Amino acid sequence: MSDNIEKMKQLYKEKFAPINEAFTHIHRGDHIFIGTACGEPQFLVNALVEFVKDNPKAFFDTELLQVWSLGVAPYTDSTFHSNFRLNSFFIGDPTRDAVNEGMADYTPLFLSQTSSMFKDELVPIDVALIQVSLPDPTGHVSLGVSVDITKAAVEKAELVIAQVNRNMPRVLGDSFLHIEDIDYLVVHHEPLLVYEDKLTDEISAKIGSYVSKIVQDGDTIQVGYGSIPNSVISNLKGKKHLGVHTELISDGIVELMKARVVDNSLKTLDRGKTVASFCMGTPRAYEFIHDNPDVEFKPIEYTNNPLNIARQRNMVAINSTLQIDLTGQSSAESIGHQFYSGIGGHADFMRGAVLAPGGTTILCLQSTADNGNVSRIVPFLSEGAGATLTRGDIHYVVTEYGIAYLHGKNIRERAMELISIAHPKFRSWLIKEAKKYSLIYKDQAFIPGKRGEYPEELETYKTTEAGMEVFLRPVKISDEPLLKDFFYHLSDQSMYKRFISARKDMPHERLQEFVIIDYT
């Protein structure tokens, strides 16, 4: 591959000009796209900042567009306020303060729609700074770990400057550009940015174990990023024939592929292939996806299109959130008025999975924040919070205290389901608030503290003589609708024998006596 660079230098000498010459073609007011996350061309970005340091009047008011920055984001420094302003589609750690202090912008978009915004020039692109692999003998380079919206940006930009890096993997699929489509090439080899999986804590591990009970053999999965999704992935090692259709590949997905837990053999669309749009991980992941025929990267308008996602039978979208209210709305992008992350592909996959035959959505969150002082399950979303998912998008909600199923349930049933998986010390408050806003019965009974905590250890499976496996568990406070249906399916004779009464009704005030349990 290195030999190919020398060959290309001879064929396209003018494209290998000094980097500062390339920067002289940037004009004031230009819209400059920067490659995504681990695919960010660090050398180009730093060189651009240095160029402006040395030439502070070279250009003014350029807009830097990026999905997500993992680098140090030097362009957000106040020194360059007249030269650069960042406009991000997803807020990461390096840029969060700048956005919330008004020094940078955030554009809320479904990632599936971003490429069309470029093509329709609703979000104009003049310059693209990207990172690519070494060229092959035909002059093609791969966008490697960052296909996502990068390819659409390249196709629209008037000026494309690419950092050629031997550490960028050559990823198969729709990831290739020809050198003729690039205006300037800068050869600079450096390690790619790394996204280390956060260490799994006890709470995240518990959430992951619950999610693994929902995911079935043969499902096609999408998993978001963060400590909880990583725990989910590690709990799927006992599954078989999983498929992957996702925007993001991480080290966790790579490990499932190596273990042949993921073989994509039962996928409806792109059978036999793990399909993604970008990779955030470690060199182990980058090495694995390099020239791997089992992996295909496609532009984000394909991977995140809800209609494509809906074509996958048994599609399971697994994502995390910051807050959910008792009616089933959730926010994954802000904490009240403070912007935290973004819409990203979260909503794309959740809505696509809802439409898929046999599809399922799973929303994960720790029950508390701020060292246990704040409940993430709340009566209503905090003022200013963005409703990333509506009440109709979520099937399962999982915390370290269990699984709540919301799909098809009314507001009262949803509230009781979610209260049952909230942190025990906040359940009394949630009951009180739910009554205040008439979300549940005004006379809803509740046992606080340890006496009301569900004893998961009593759950068990038994096999009948006929070979049928039966799941047995204690009754829960959220089981009242099930008991209601049970009672009204009993015969009059059975009702009389069970309750020594000719009573034919079973109202709420009587029913709740059977589900409000002192488990001690």
Distance CA 509, CA 515 (A): 11
Question: Where are the extended beta strands (E) located within 314-425?
Answer: 315-320, 323-325, 330-331, 334-335, 338-339, 360-364, 368-369, 374-375, 377-378, 396-399, 402-405
Distance CA 241, CA 219 (A): 8
Confirm if 377 and 425 have CB atoms less than 8 A apart: no
How many Cβ atoms sit within 10 Å of the Cβ of residue 282? 17
Residue 120, C-beta contacts closer than 8 angstroms, at least 6 positions apart = none
- Dihedral-angle region of residue 519 (phi above 0 means left; psi in -120 to 50 means alpha; beta otherwise): alpha
- Residue where the block lists tokens 């509230």: 415
What tokens does 28 get? 């004031």
What secondary structure does DSSP assign to 494-513, as a single string?
Answer: HHHHHHSS------HHHHGG
What tokens does 96 get? 């969060």
SS3 516: coil
Residues annotated catalytic, as ranges: 247
Distance CA 159, CA 150 (A): 13
